[in-house]
C-alpha cells in the first residue's frame, strides 16, 4: 500500500464517521496540568499506526516500569488539528497525557503529523494552524509594551 492510498483511506474513514473528530483544544491551565507534566516526565514511546493515528506507550511519573498503550488520532483534517484518544482521561475531560505527549513532540520538531487533505507530513505545527488556547497561558507573561522593530536605532 503506498502512502497516498493510506492517507486517502484515513481521510475517507474520518469522513464516514458518525460525527466529526474533535478539534484539539487546550484546557485552561494546561501547562500546569498533571497530563502535561506526565507527558514530559514519564517514559514513553510513540509509534505511527497509520497516517492519522499513533500508538502511545506512556508510563507514570512514579512508576517507570509500567507502560500503558493507547491509540490516538492526531492529524490535520480540513485545516484543523484533530485529536482523540481512547483513554478515560480524554473521554471525560477532552485532554489527556497521550494527546499532550504528541503535541509536546510535534511542537519540538520531533513528530511527523499528516495533513489528510494534502497528504503532506508536517514535522512541526505549520504557521497557519491555530489551536484554541495554545497561547492562552503565555498572555499574562508577555510584556504590555509593544516591541519596536527599528533595530535599536530609535530608542
pLDDT tens digits for 88-105? 999 998 899 999 999 999
Whether 95 and 80 have beta carbons less than 8 Å apart is answered as no
| Secondary structure class of 24 (helix, strand, coil) | coil
What is the average pLDDT across 49-67? 85
pTM tops 0.85: no
3-state secondary structure at position 143:
coil
On the 0-12 / 13-18 / 19+ scale of CB atoms within 10 A, 8 is middle
Lowest mean pLDDT among 64-68, 89-93, 114-118: 64-68
Least confident of 38-47, 100-109, 132-141: 132-141
Q: Give the pLDDT score at 88.
A: 93
CB 3 within 8 A of CB 51: yes
Confidence band of 132 (pLDDT split at 50, 70, 90): low
pLDDT at 140 over 90: no
Nearest C-alpha neighbor of 35 from the set 57, 58, 54: 58
Query: Which cell numbers in the block locate residue 140?
Result: 499574562
- d(CA 120, CA 7) in angstroms, rounded, equals 9
Q: Has residue 13 got a pLDDT over 90?
A: no
Cα separation, 71 vs 104, in Å, equals 17
Residue of higher predicted confidence among 104 and 14? 104
Report whether pLDDT(3) > 90: no
pLDDT band of residue 67 (cuts 50, 70, 90) is: confident
For the chain, give every domain's residue range: 3-122
Amino acid at each position: 500500500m503506498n502512502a497516498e492510498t493510506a492517507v486517502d483511506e484515513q481521510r475517507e474513514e474520518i469522513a464516514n464517521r458518525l460525527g466529526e473528530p474533535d478539534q484539539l483544544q487546550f484546557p485552561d491551565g494546561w501547562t500546569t496540568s498533571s497530563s502535561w507534566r506526565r507527558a514530559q516526565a514519564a517514559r514513553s514511546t510513540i509509534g505511527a499506526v497509520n497516517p492519522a493515528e499513533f500508538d502511545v506507550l506512556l508510563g507514570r511519573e512514579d512508576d517507570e516500569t509500567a507502560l500503558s498503550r493507547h491509540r490516538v488520532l492526531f492529524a490535520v483534517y480540513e485545516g484543523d488539528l484533530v485529536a482523540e484518544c481512547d483513554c478515560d482521561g480524554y473521554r471525560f475531560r477532552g485532554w489527556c497525557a497521550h494527546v499532550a505527549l504528541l503535541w509536546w513532540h510535534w511542537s519540538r520538531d520531533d513528530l511527523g503529523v499528516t495533513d489528510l487533505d494534502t497528504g503532506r507530513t508536517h514535522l512541526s505545527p505549520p504557521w497557519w494552524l491555530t489551536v484554541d488556547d495554545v497561547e492562552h497561558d503565555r498572555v499574562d507573561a508577555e510584556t504590555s509594551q509593544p516591541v519596536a522593530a527599528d533595530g535599536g536605532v530609535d530608542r
